[in-house]
């Protein structure tokens, strides 16, 4: 008798589960047809790490904090005129932790909203931001109250970087 009870119970509880599944037929689909249609990205999304070499002061803070040693930086000039002459990011090593973005004193480093990146070779994954400029991709903007404190810096950042509104 126990086995008949088991079969009956197994059938009944499975039907209960099927009802739950059946209800899903009437829920609108949420599937996104990816390459043509894209989901909106949150503002803090951490995509490819890029550096705006025109405002980078080559302070080396990011290089020191990077847990995987993916950054390399060389500077030119002294004091306020100091700028980066070589700034490379090795995307093979980068772990997208954004620790470098936090320590950056001039906000030249930021995580862009670019996530569709393809490389065919490891050497392409090392990018020098002093050689090739940043393509206009969306990235995180500075918080409003911070940028209003130094209007000069904000202007410079807007004109030079591809930090278009996300």
Partner 1 sequence: MITPAQPKPLQGEPLVVHMGPQHPSTHGVLRVELHTDGEVVERAIPNIGYLHRCKEKIGESIGYDAYVPYTDRMDYLAAMNNNWTWAMCVEKLAEIEVPERAEYIRVFVGELNRIASHLVAVGTYGLDLGAFTPFLHAFREREMTLDILEELSGGRLCFGYVRIGGVAEDMTARAMDMTRRFLKQFRAKLDSFNELLSFNHIFIKRTANIGALSGEQAIAYGITGPMLRASGVDWDLRRDEPYSIYNRFEFDIPVGQGLKGQVGDNWDRYWIRIREMYESTRILEQVIDGFPEGSHMGKVPAVLRPPKDAEVYVRTECPRGELAFYMISDGSKVPFRLKARGPSFCNLSVFEELTRDMLIADVVATLGTFDVVMGEVDR
Could you count the other beta carbons within 10 Å of the beta carbon of residue 48? 19
Q: Is residue 92 at the binding interface for partner 1, with CB under 8 A as the rule? A: no
- Tokens representing 141 are 């903007």
Q: Is residue 9 at the binding interface for partner 1, with CB under 8 A as the rule? A: yes
Chosen residue from 59, 97, 126, 166 binding partner 1 by CB under 8 A? 97
**Whats the size of the chain, residue-wise?**
166
- Rounded Cα distance between 78 and 58, Å, is 10
Chosen residue from 32, 67, 124, 131 binding partner 1 by CB under 8 A? 67
Q: Is residue 84 at the binding interface for partner 1, with CB under 8 A as the rule? A: no
Chosen residue from 59, 65, 126, 166 binding partner 1 by CB under 8 A? 65
3-state secondary structure of 65: helix
CA distances from 81 to 97, 129, 144, 158 (A): 29, 18, 26, 19
- Tokens representing 3 are 């086995």
Toward partner 1, which CB reaches closer, 84 or 111?
A: 111
CA distances from 97 to 86, 93, 102 (A): 22, 11, 10
Q: Is residue 117 at the binding interface for partner 1, with CB under 8 A as the rule? A: no
Q: Is residue 42 at the binding interface for partner 1, with CB under 8 A as the rule? A: yes
Q: How far is CA 149 from the centre of its chain?
A: 26
* Residue 152 CB, nearest approach to partner 1 (Å): 25
* Residue 41 CB, nearest approach to partner 1 (Å): 9
* Residue 76 CB, nearest approach to partner 1 (Å): 25
Residues that bind partner 1 (CB under 8 A): 6, 9-10, 12-14, 16-17, 19-21, 23, 42, 44-46, 65-68, 95-99, 102, 111
């Amino acid at each position: 008798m126990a086995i008949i009870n088991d079969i009956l119970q197994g059938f009944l509880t499975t039907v209960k589960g099927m009802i739950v599944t059946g209800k899903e037929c009437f829920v609108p689909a949420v599937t996104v047809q990816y390459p043509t249609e894209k989901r909106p990205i949150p503002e803090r999304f951490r995509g490819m790490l890029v550096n705006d070499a025109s405002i980078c002061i080559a302070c080396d803070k990011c290089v020191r904090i990077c847990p995987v040693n993916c950054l390399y930086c060389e500077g030119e000039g002294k004091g306020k005129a100091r700028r980066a002459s070589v700034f490379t990011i090795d995307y093979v090593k980068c772990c997208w932790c954004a620790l470098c973005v936090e320590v950056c004193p001039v906000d030249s480093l930021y995580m862009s909203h670019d996530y569709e990146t393809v490389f065919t070779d490891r050497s392409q994954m090392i990018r020098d931001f002093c050689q090739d400029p940043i393509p206009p991709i969306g990235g995180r903007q500075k918080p409003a109250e911070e940028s209003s404190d130094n209007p000069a810096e904000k202007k410079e950042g807007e004109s030079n970087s591809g930090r278009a509104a996300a």
